[in-house]
Structure 1
Amino acid sequence: MEELAEEAGITVRTVRFYRERGLIPPPRREGRIAWYDDDHLARLRTIAALLERGHTLNGIADLATAFESGRDVGEVLGLGEPTEETPVRLSPGALADYFEGEVTAENLATALELGYLAKDGEEIVHISRNLLDASAALVREGIPLTAVMAASRRVRTHAEALAELFVEVLRTHTPQGEADRLRPLAKTIVAAELSMALDRLLRAPGDDR
């Protein structure tokens, strides 16, 4: 414990306190010797980073509980890695920076449930660079992360329905194995229709925003 505390730049008393609070996992024991490893050091550095960003110990404990109860990256990506979306690896501190104080236990649990986030050791993996950047941009514009994810949940329902429609059309009218090659055309149609729908709604009479 003394070696771990020295490496982390904190006191032994602080390490003991974090362990008692469940913020770091128990050490591996061999007789009377307690062994701490790089995972414990990474967790301590994560706690320090989150404290620097204004999180409380209670909040960090809630985040840890939500995160540990979520799916790991193997379970999420094991369903089939996205062919076009690029996963992003983040430290908990970097994730907190992305969303400027909006990373709460509730929001983290929702993101894990939706499959946007997964855990891989001490790292967090976001399933899509595009979704991560767009969501963070909306939060920076003042839209609460809870509202962004609520909208995303609804968008997913409609997106899956659109995908089913186009998959049926492509598989019905193209040779076997050709449907995937034509997916960019389906995406273009959906993007164009969404753009025109936004034009109609945002320019509707009475919209003074």
Structure 2
Amino acid sequence: MIGRRELTLEDLAVSTGMTARNVRAYRARGLLPPPTREGRRLRYGPEHVARLRLIRSLHRSGLSLRVIGELLERGEAEETLVRLSRERLVASWGRDGLVPLLPDNVEQLREVAPHLLEALESTGIVVRDGECRLANAAALGLVSALLARDVDLVASTRVALLAGRAAAHVADDLSRLVDELTAHLDGGTRQEATRLAVQLAATAFADVLARRLGLGDVGRAATAVTAPRP
């Protein structure tokens, strides 16, 4: 989720879960638009946050920076992220896949929709770490893609919240079923089978929702998007 204020290099790095050195390296590779200059100070904006989160999500999905650069040039990076997010749904689970929400975003949500942030926390979409709030990097990349298409922050967040509530509604039943199906397995095999079962459930949810929204060919469309070889 991206805010509207201008950021320093350090602010930008923190908001995207990177280091300032990473940001400089991406800028040197031409992956990041140049910042604005105020005297001797460089300032970054929402477009830089969105771009870095998109790059981070694609890189964590296994794409090289060279391939990501080619996708950005062709305008295919966001579409590829959607495909990879569906195919590798569980790849970014765990704290390593979380990045902090900008304070401006938190304040914006509180002003426009006071109870929305707490609802996101109650479903587990947003995680508290002291005073900081964290969310999945891939999910934030998709929010950035929606923002680029004029779907505002609150609307995008409500999409995630409604889906989270739907998942919470069936989570207990699915958990019991998955436990039964994998009870005969041991250790890592059981964990991997559980992850695959969760991915199957999420894919089924996405298919039903896509068809209800009139995207009957979404499966074929997603399959047709392929990333170039590194």
TM-score (norm 2): 0.39
User: Higher relative contact order by CA 8 Å / sep ≥ 6: 1 or 2?
Assistant: 2
Considering only CA atoms, is the larger Rg found in Structure 1 or Structure 2? 1
